[in-house]
Amino acid sequence: MEKQVIFRDRQELQSADLNNIQGFADDALRHVVRDAVSAGRWYTGMAVTATGATDIVVAAGRLYADGEVYAKEQETAVNLFQYLPLVTKKIVAVVAWGAAVETDMQPRDFLLDLTTGETQPEAVAMQRLNQCNVNVVPGVESADPQAPALQSETAPVAWITLTPTGVERIEMNAALLLPRLDDHAARVGTLEAWRAQVQPQITTIATDLSALSNKTEGLADRNSLIELSLDLARVKEQLNLPSGYASYSSDGFSDAEQTDAAGSGYTARIENGLHFPFAGEAKAPLAVFNPYDSAIKQHADGLVLPAYTHQPRIATNGYSGDVSISQYQFQTTELKKYVRTVYQYHHGWHWNYYNNWYARYYWNRRYYLGVYPYYWRYYQHYGYYTSHQETTYQLEQVTHSINGAILAQTVLVPNAMWLTRVGLQFTQIGADGDLNLVLCDTEAGKPLPSQTLAHVTVARADLKKYPTETVIDIPPVLLAAGKRYALMLITQGDHRAATVSGSNYTQGTLFYGTDGEYMQGDLTKDLMFTLYGANFSRARTEVTLQSVSLAGGISDIDITAPHVVPDGCELTYEFQVGGKWYPLASVELQLVGRPNIVPLRAVLLGTNDLMPALCATADAVTGSRPDLGFIHYSTERMLAVASDSIQVQVVVAQWDEANHGLTCQLVSGGTTYNPTGVEWRDEPDGQAQRAVFTFAPDPAISAYQVKLSGTRADGSAPFVVVERTDVAL
């Protein structure tokens, strides 16, 4: 109470003191109502019911208005006969308002003379009541009746629709019904349960939107595809070989299938094109410079992720019983594990930016220049590419066998997540028997141990008894959104796993092993579990890596190692030159100066719930520089008919006439033939040149090899042979 009346011994007591006691209490209550409940108009109780065709009863209740509480202690009967409409309908409002009245009249003696003690009786009110009054306010009769207009100091409790025969319906004004705290508690409980169920989906929506953006970015529209199809049809019509040709062959240098590396003086390199060989090459591990860096977490298998905490993502709650794992048949389970996809990142001269038609057909690679066409024009001899298979994990062929009974639970993952630990509950722990936890794919909704993502063995001593959760850390595994996985428990111990009712979790099924790889489902229960996902502390993390060094200098960097890059995330590499960091995707000439040591770092970009990862790998980083020349031999060409007119066409990219040289010869038997003519012309796209070498061997030859020799001036960018075609007429 904000104010109190102070009383002392032998102190005069006045009526104001007694009135202040209740006045101060009334003020305090009014402030509590106004500050903690509401300062507006609300009501409780006062249910309106029809007792006859035209009679209603308004039950007792209370009205809250601007902090005051007005009581209605008795029910009120109201007859609505006088408000009945004549033909159509009418809405009558039941309204409440408050007023202070003095009641409880009683006789009291009042002192007239202090000396004689003379008194005089008088009837006075002994109670002041905050009274809630109820009445009805009629609207206007209409075929489409509207509620009547009300005075601002009244609170509408109910709306009554009248017809000429009486009450048609009564609608309580739920908008002004004062909510109870226990009602709020029930609502909050429902919201918390809903939040626990959908929070994982909601918290990862930023990642899902980013992934969706990445998937849709760059997609061609329907009109573009139609135009492309028309252009392709014209190209097919125009692309004709000479009418008198006897044989032809073409090589896009996507592999060494048509290369004779045993040819005399052979020095060349095949990688999506014919390249200059390495003049120098050095290997270095893809390794973290500081394994104790607080911004990252490096795991025993080499996986490097940004720092994270464990956050529950999917859980089943509501213990309802348990199930004995050992009651099921013991069997041998064979596991085949997934491995991470290997990515290749390349920066430097030694590459082929020109994606000709032959390479597009035979070479499945993704190229990223990462710059505007303006830089293509000035720095087209320097580039960047990445390559990897589309799958995040690949199945390896190593098989691992485990003996024991099997209990499994399938789980639908609503949003992509890095699974970092699993929580299980055991009501009984056997005297012995370790537990094998296996995370695997599913097929047709059933566990598929032949496609395993993670396998952890938990010692029997580390198992906890319910209600203590057994928390099992696993090497982080990326789980894809919308995909179903399975948790398999394999053990020879007499352990009992806690379960929940099958109606509590409808996104998975409990399975147990029966014979071989056959799994039987149980729809009446589910395993009690919690899946914990990584919650990353930041959306961008820089990871300093060990440097790569090469005596004589580095102009090209190649990084080939396992990576996991989810949709919506980015993993890029940067190198340092002159104290400044440059992205590996930069096509500017930062490495033309050929530094002997190149510091590296990785930049991981994602969201708080999803990030990319790299894997520390030995000899994953290659620093190199190209040689000044190459010699390449094709495999021997065998003609059905000897020819004395042979044409060899060579397409080269990154060509610089002032600093480059290219010769072509035919080698047949022990004889080398030089061309009788050479013609150079630009390709239609203007991004490459085509050299046409004409040969007239005499006498005609029926077998030959094509020998290409290339040179470059020191310090100049190397060129790349992207296609060789020879035609025998």
Is residue 632 located within the same domain as residue 622? no
Is residue 7 located within the same domain as residue 99? no
Residue 236 lies in a domain: no
What local confidence, expressed as pLDDT, does residue 371 receive? Answer: 33
Displacement of CA 76 from its chain's centroid (Å): 61
**pLDDT cut 70: percent of the chain above it:** 87
- Give the integer Cα–Cα distance in Å for 274 and 627: 13
- Which of 15-29, 35-49, 239-253, 655-669 ranks highest by mean pLDDT? 655-669
CA-closest candidate to residue 63, choices 50, 77, 51, 76: 76
What local confidence, expressed as pLDDT, does residue 597 receive? Answer: 95
Is residue 121 located within the same domain as residue 151? yes
What integer is the mean pLDDT of 220-231?
65
Tens of pLDDT, residue by residue over 611-620, are 999 999 999 9
- Give the integer Cα–Cα distance in Å for 690 and 361: 19
10 Å CB burial of residue 460 (0-12, 13-18, 19+) is: middle
Domain-ending residue, one of 626, 641, 660: 626
Residue 223 lies in a domain: no
Residue 238 lies in a domain: no
Are residues 326 and 494 in contact, defined by beta-carbon separation less than 8 angstroms? yes
pLDDT at 310 over 70: yes
What local confidence, expressed as pLDDT, does residue 376 receive? Answer: 30
Q: Looking at beta carbons, which pairs linking 439-446 to residues 24 or more positions away fall under 8 Å?
A: 439/474, 439/477, 439/485, 439/486, 439/487, 439/488, 440/335, 440/485, 440/486, 440/488, 441/485, 441/486, 442/410, 442/484, 442/485, 442/486, 445/410, 445/484, 445/509, 446/410, 446/486, 446/511, 446/519, 446/521
What local confidence, expressed as pLDDT, does residue 368 receive? Answer: 37
CA-closest candidate to residue 655, choices 716, 589, 576: 716
What integer is the mean pLDDT of 356-378?
35
More confident residue, 679 or 228: 679
Instruction: Compute the mean pLDDT over every residue in the chain, rounded to the nearest whole number.
Output: 85
What local confidence, expressed as pLDDT, does residue 233 receive? Answer: 53
**pLDDT cut 90: percent of the chain above it:** 53
More confident residue, 180 or 644: 644
- Give the integer Cα–Cα distance in Å for 310 and 328: 33
pLDDT at 213 over 90: no
Residue 65 lies in a domain: yes
pLDDT at 377 over 70: no
Tens of pLDDT, residue by residue over 239-275, are 444 444 446 778 888 889 999 999 999 999 998 789 9
Give whole-number Cα distances, 616 to 179, 289, 297, 478, 679, in Å. Answer: 59, 11, 12, 17, 50
More confident residue, 517 or 124: 124
pLDDT at 604 over 80: yes
What local confidence, expressed as pLDDT, does residue 230 receive? Answer: 57
Per-residue confidence at 366, pLDDT binned at 50, 70, 90? very low
What integer is the mean pLDDT of 699-708?
95
* Residue found under tokens 């208005």: 65
What local confidence, expressed as pLDDT, does residue 370 receive? Answer: 36
What integer is the mean pLDDT of 381-400?
69
What local confidence, expressed as pLDDT, does residue 112 receive? Answer: 86
What local confidence, expressed as pLDDT, does residue 274 receive? Answer: 92
pLDDT at 41 over 50: yes
Per-residue confidence at 201, pLDDT binned at 50, 70, 90? low
Per-residue confidence at 492, pLDDT binned at 50, 70, 90? very high
Angle between helices 205-216 and 181-203 (to 10 degrees): 30
- Give the integer Cα–Cα distance in Å for 721 and 351: 10
The angle at the Cα of 370, spanning 366 to 376, to the nearest 5 degrees, equals: 100
- Which of 389-393, 509-513, 575-579, 629-633 ranks highest by mean pLDDT? 629-633
- Give the integer Cα–Cα distance in Å for 555 and 576: 13
Is residue 319 located within the same domain as residue 463? yes
Residue 668: give its domain's CATH number.
Answer: 2.60.120.200
What integer is the mean pLDDT of 627-650?
93
Is residue 442 located within the same domain as residue 568? no
Domain-ending residue, one of 120, 151, 178: 178
More confident residue, 541 or 217: 541
Is residue 619 located within the same domain as residue 632? no
Is residue 376 located within the same domain as residue 484? no
Residue 219 lies in a domain: no
Is residue 657 located within the same domain as residue 690? yes
Is residue 618 located within the same domain as residue 703? no
pLDDT at 393 over 80: no
Is residue 82 located within the same domain as residue 142? yes
Token pair recorded at residue 85: 């409409």
Token pair recorded at residue 144: 């489409």
What local confidence, expressed as pLDDT, does residue 469 receive? Answer: 95
Domain-ending residue, one of 626, 647, 662: 626
Q: Which of 188-202, 228-242, 392-406 has the lowest mean pLDDT?
A: 228-242
Residue 118 lies in a domain: yes
Residue 425: give its domain's CATH number.
Answer: 2.60.120
Q: Looking at beta carbons, which pairs linking 23-31 to residues 24 or more positions away fall under 8 Å?
A: 25/1, 27/2, 27/3, 28/1, 28/2, 28/3, 29/69, 30/67, 30/68, 31/2, 31/67
Range of the domain at 373: 279-305+342-389+537-626
Is residue 18 located within the same domain as residue 69? no
What local confidence, expressed as pLDDT, does residue 223 receive? Answer: 65
What local confidence, expressed as pLDDT, does residue 474 receive? Answer: 94
More confident residue, 376 or 189: 189
What local confidence, expressed as pLDDT, does residue 336 receive? Answer: 79
Are residues 603 and 597 in contact, defined by beta-carbon separation less than 8 angstroms? no
Residue 233 lies in a domain: no
Residue 99 lies in a domain: yes
Is residue 451 located within the same domain as residue 522? yes
Q: Looking at beta carbons, which pairs linking 17-23 to residues 24 or more positions away fall under 8 Å?
A: none
Residue 85: give its domain's CATH number.
Answer: 2.60.520
pLDDT at 227 over 70: no
- Number of structural domains found in the chain: 6
